[in-house]
Structures are given as structure tokens and as C-alpha cells.
Chain A
Amino acid sequence: MNLLLFYILAAIIVVSAILVVTLRNVFHSALFLVMAFFMVAGIYLMLNAEFLAAVQVLIYVGAITILMLFAIMLTHKIQSSSIKQTNQKVIPAAIISLLFLALAIFTITRSFGDIPTEKPNAGAWTASISVKKLPSHDKIWNWTAVLEDKAGKNYIASSNLGLSPEVPANDDMVQPWAERKQPSGYILSAKADYSTRNTLYKEGQTIYLKIWSQDVDYQSITDASWIITNINDTSQVVKTKLSNSNPDQIGQLLMSQFVLPFEVVSVLLLMALVGAIIISRKDS
């Protein structure tokens, strides 16, 4: 089903791209470019990049191709199809591009042909944390964190986190308790919130847990909270849906790790737009 959808999208993209580079009428090429950009947005949706698909439609379809249509219409002479649109280098260009394509496909299949099937997508996971009071110890609780996907299958094995009620030695309110390397390559760890010293595990108290994996560079992928309703509870399971939607994560990356490139590229965009205005002014 997904494969069929991919092939339909890819066929439309390739046919539109061929028409973009071969049609005599440049105006029609620009319209087929719009079609190709729309289908590339569909490809992004298939790759779980919803934010990027929206950006693609907004910027490429909404801004860039419209700008090109404006330029084509302002330079009116060029859109008559009587003018030859290609130069004499069609056959060398075809040879070069086919050679590049063959080289790229050879390299891709040699290098990435053995990439296993897709890894679980974080957006579909559910974190469940079960808390258990051990019978032998009065105040030691056993925390188990499990990440499961939509189908309920455990992608990541559970991790037992021993949590003792003593306030940690350092003054940190948040103390990492356990990190365990999982067979799937992820590290689960949990943090407990010691917001109330010496009065841990009262009834009605909220205990916060963070679960994250190593692959997200110690970025929390979920926060779970658990309220002690009854101090004599022996077991309780907290289930929380992971709130890492795609725009959310991209916004966090843009504002934390990529904040300097973000600012630089915004300045560059401003400079480019001012430069474009200066270039196209009449009296320049």
C-alpha cells in the first residue's frame, strides 16, 4: 500500500520533472514544477516530515514558483513556443546526466542497500511506567519504564529503576537514577523530581519521570507524572502518550542546537532580499 503510494508519487514527480526540463513553453514548465513540488511534499509526508511538507507547499509552491511565473510573464518574449528552448548540447547533457544517474544508483545500492527496515517512529510510542512497592523494603519502589508503539509491541525493553526515598546528596532536584543500555541501542533513563525534601511519597504527591533515549542527544522524549493516591498502593501503571510531534521537535532543535545557523540564515535571507530589490531597481 505504502509502496504503491510511493511509486505513484515518484512516477508523477519524475514525469513532471522531465516535462519541466523538456517543454518548449517555459510557462508550462513552471506549472509542471508546481506539480512536482506538490508531490515532493507528499514524499515528505510519507517520511513523517509533516512540518517540512507544509513548508514545502508554502515556500516552494506558494513563493518560489509564483515568483518564477511572475518573471516569465514580465519577460514576455520568451514564453512563445516558437523560440527554441534548448541549445545544441542535448546529447552531451543526456550522456552526462545518465552517467551521473548510473553512478549514483551504483553507489546507493552498494552503500545503503543493506540498511534494515525503518526504525520505530517516536511519535507513535507510548510510555508506561509502573511503580511497585517492594514488600521487603518499606520505602523502596521499583519503577519500570516501557516504550511501546501503536500496536502495543515493546520496541524497547523495560528498564528497572530502583528509587530510594533518600534525598540525594547533591542539591539537584532532579537526579538521574538508572541508565541501562538496551539491546535496541537506546538508553532509557528516568529522573525523579525531588521537589519536596524529606517528605517523599506522601499521598497526593506527584512524582515526575523523564524518559529519553540516547539517540535524541539527551533530549527528553517524554515527561510522565504519577500521583500517589494511596500510600498502600503496591502497583500502579502510568501511561502517557509521547508528545514529540514533528514541528515540536524541529522547533526545539532550531531553538537549541541550531540557533546560530538559524540566525545566520535569517540574516542571509534578509541580505538576499535587500540585494534583490537593489538589483532590480530601475535606476540602479
Chain B
Amino acid sequence: MPGLTHFLILAAILFSLGIFGLITRRNAVGVLMSIELMFNAVNINFVAFSRYLTPQYLSGQVFSIFIITIAAAEAAVGLAIVMLIYRNFRGIEVDKIDYMKW
């Protein structure tokens, strides 16, 4: 049976891949996908801690449910913003959207 550190290291790898994608992607949808990867890493951490440190008390899994809910809300709002940006700028490259820079 894998130990706690196995899951934590898997989550750390997933989170750093999310950071990499977050910085390098030019596509706004790609940025959102990287953020979803990072959410998943955090969820794995919560569930692994809940399983290994407090196996009787599932508050870690409840927190994961809240995080999934927030991720759904974030994806909905983020993709709505992406659609609006696409309508206004004819493209969703995040480095071309510098409307609020002076």
C-alpha cells in the first residue's frame, strides 16, 4: 500500500505542472485548464491527509467537495469571461489582452 508521501509527491508534481502551464500558456482556456490541474493536486492532498491522518473523520473529503464546487464556479465564470474577450478582441491570447495596462 502506498504511503502518505506517495500521494503528496504526486500532488506536488501535478501542482508544479499546473504552475508551468499557468505561466507558459498563451491561450486563456489553457490557463484555465492549468488551474484545474492545480485544484486537483490540492484535492489529492486533502483526501490523502484525510485518509492517513484522520481516517475516522472525513472533513478533508468535505473540504474537497467544497473545492470542486468552487472550481465549477470558477470554470463557469472564467469561460464566460473568455467568451466575452473573444467577442471583443477576436482572440484569447492572454498576452495580447493589455487593455487595462496604461
With an 8 Å Cβ cutoff, the count of chain A residues facing the other chain is 94
Enumerate chain B residues within 8 angstroms of A96, measured Cβ to Cβ: 19-20, 23
Interface segment, one of A47-55, A138-146, A203-211, A225-233: A47-55
User: With A75-B82, A85-B25, A109-B5 in contact, do A118 and B72 touch (Cβ < 8 Å)?
Assistant: no
CA of A115 to CA of B57, assembled, Å: 17
Over the window 14-54 of chain B, the binary record of Cβ atoms lying under 8 Å from chain A Cβ atoms (1 yes, 0 no) is: 11111111011111011011101100100110011011111
Total residue contacts A-B, CB cutoff 8 A: 252
CA of A277 to CA of B73, assembled, Å: 12
Say whether A112 contacts B66, CB under 8 Å: no
If over half of B's interface residues share one DSSP class (helix, strand or loop), that class is named, otherwise mixed; here it is: helix
Enumerate chain B residues within 8 angstroms of A246, measured Cβ to Cβ: 58, 61
| Residue B97 CB within 8 A of the other chain | no
Say whether A215 contacts B57, CB under 8 Å: yes
User: With A47-B51, A96-B23 in contact, do A221 and B12 touch (Cβ < 8 Å)?
Assistant: no
Say whether A113 contacts B5, CB under 8 Å: yes
Over the window 168-210 of chain A, the binary record of Cβ atoms lying under 8 Å from chain B Cβ atoms (1 yes, 0 no) is: 0000000000000000000000000000000000000000000
Say whether A75 contacts B29, CB under 8 Å: yes
Write the residues of chain A forming the contact surface with B, with a CB cutoff of 8 angstroms.
2-3, 6, 10, 13-14, 17-18, 20-22, 26, 29-30, 33, 36-37, 40, 43-44, 46-49, 51-52, 55-56, 59-60, 63-64, 67-68, 70-72, 74-75, 77-78, 84-87, 89-90, 92-94, 96-98, 100-101, 104-105, 108-109, 112-113, 115, 117-122, 213, 215-217, 221, 246, 249-250, 253-254, 257-258, 261-262, 265-266, 268-269, 272-273, 275-277, 279-280, 284
